[in-house]
Amino acid sequence: MIDRFGIAATAQASALTPDVIVQLGGEPVAMGWAPLAARARRFVIADQGWPDGDSTAEAVLIGDVTDALERIAQALPAPRLPSAFARAWGEADRAAADAMDAAITDHALAGPMAAEHDAVRAAIAAVPDGGQLVLGNSLPVRVADEIAAGGRDLRVITQRGAAGIDGLIAGAAGAAAGGVPTVLILGDVSFAHDIGALACARGLPLAIVVIDNRGGRIFDHLPVASVDLPAGAFERLWRTPTELDPVAAARAFGLAAATVRSPDELGAAISHGLAAGAIVVHVPVAPESAASVRSAAVAALAAPAPRQRSHA
């Protein structure tokens, strides 16, 4: 939602920017977050740690979050809901969701899994009610945030590891070890990074969905993508595609594995793996689709609304 808001805010200027942000727990992982946080006074309430990495919050309160919110609510005058501000957020979110849907549908014309968003959406849909969704860092968590619809009974887990993309398979295996059906969505480089943890996955109700966009595609969204580098340097030093075959790797660890080519095949493979005891599902997607879907949605939101023709 923050990121869908980020998409809308990118296109619609600052009428939606809050004056004050109360951040509960860690900072959201979303591209829309940093520009939003930079423009508002920010207060952090968290039960542990010190989630103010760049020391820009006005205050960090460590303690019981629920208790703090109850006291704040008691101290404030009763709000008149929905406020114009809340309505503006709701409208921006709906407009951004529609723009994302249209951009994803346009990509689908090029093939059944032409957009990374198709794969993430199908994988989330395949998590059974009461199950767990573990979102890998880099693009999976951001793409999920762009299309998150809410309203499902899921436990969503993210972890930052020591540096970001490490330990995601081990973490998801730990979450699944309690017996709750668990779907991990992670990138191809992240998969390679924690490949040894496949040894812990066997027999667990765990589907490991590898979004294969041939390397670390998040770097396409970052300033480094527009730096003038020697030929081939961006590919070799930033994207670092692995050429690893996730299906062969999974089989080496005695796990079931499949490469899928459509959202339906992806859903079926996940359901099978959750029932049969761990599966690696390899999902090749159009490599640049996450960036192109996002920029198509932002462009559509920025375009002036078509004028109603008057019949004078």
Ligand X SMILES: Cc1ncc(C[n+]2csc(CCOP(=O)(O)OP(=O)(O)O)c2C)c(N)n1
List 10, 132, 182, 213, residue binding ligand X (CB under 6 A): 213
* Residue number, nearest CB to ligand X: 187
Among Mg ion, ligand X, none, residue 121 binds (CB under 5-8 Å by kind): none
Sheet holding 59-62, edge to edge: 20-24, 41-46, 59-62
**By C-beta, is 45 or 290 nearer to ligand X?**
290
Nearer of residues 4 and 239 to Mg ion, judged by Cβ: 239
User: Amino acid identity of 140?
Assistant: P
- Residue ranges in 25-54 that form contacts with Mg ion under rule CB under 5 A: none
Q: Give the whole-angstrom CA distance, residue 87 versus residue 91.
A: 6
Q: Does 246 bind Mg ion (CB under 5 A)?
A: no
Q: Quick check: 163 binds ligand X (CB under 6 A)?
A: yes
CB 148 within 8 A of CB 1: yes
Nearest-approach distance from CB 37 to ligand X, in angstroms: 20
Q: Tell whether residue 166 is a contact of ligand X (CB under 6 A).
A: yes
Q: Give me the least distance between CB of 82 and ligand X, in Å please.
A: 35
- Number of helices (H) and strands (E) in the chain: give both, helices first: 12, 9
Interaction between residue 2 and ligand X (CB under 6 A): no
Nearest CA-CA partner of 221 in 167, 292, 269, 133: 292
- Give 208's strand partners: 184, 280
Contact status: 23 vs ligand X (CB under 6 A): no
Candidate ranges 42-50, 96-104, 163-171, 296-304; the one touching ligand X (CB under 6 A): 163-171
3-state class (DSSP) for residue 179: coil
User: Which DSSP letter does residue 275 get?
Assistant: H
Helix (H) or strand (E) holding 276, with range, is: helix 263-276
Q: Does 138 bind ligand X (CB under 6 A)?
A: yes
* C-beta of 193 vs 217, nearer to Mg ion: 217
Is 6:35 a contact under the CB 8 Å cutoff? yes
Question: Which residue from 4, 217, 282, 294 is in contact with ligand X, where contact means CB under 6 A?
Answer: 217
Binder to ligand X among 2, 46, 148, 165 (CB under 6 A)?
A: 165
**Alpha carbon separation from 264 to 199, 269, 270, 288 (Å, rounded):** 28, 9, 10, 22
Does 144 sit near ligand X (CB under 6 A)? no
Binding string, residues 81-120; x marks residues near ligand X by CB under 6 A: ----------------------------------------
What is the Cα–Cα distance from 257 to 261, expressed in whole angstroms? Answer: 14
Nearest distance, CB of residue 159 and ligand X, angstroms:
12
Number of residues located near Mg ion, criterion CB under 5 A? 4
Find the Cα–Cα–Cα–Cα dihedral 285, 280, 219, 23, rounded to 10°: 110
What amino acid occupies position 33? Answer: W
Binding string to ligand X for residues 177 to 206, with x set by CB under 6 A, is what?
A: ----------xxxx----------------
CB 213 within 8 A of CB 241: no
Q: According to CB under 5 A, which residues from 167 to 226 bind Mg ion? A: 187-188, 213, 217
Strand partners, 284: 212
What is the SS3 assignment for 45? strand
The residues binding ligand X (CB under 6 A) are: 138-140, 163-166, 187-190, 213, 215-218
The residues binding Mg ion (CB under 5 A) are: 187-188, 213, 217
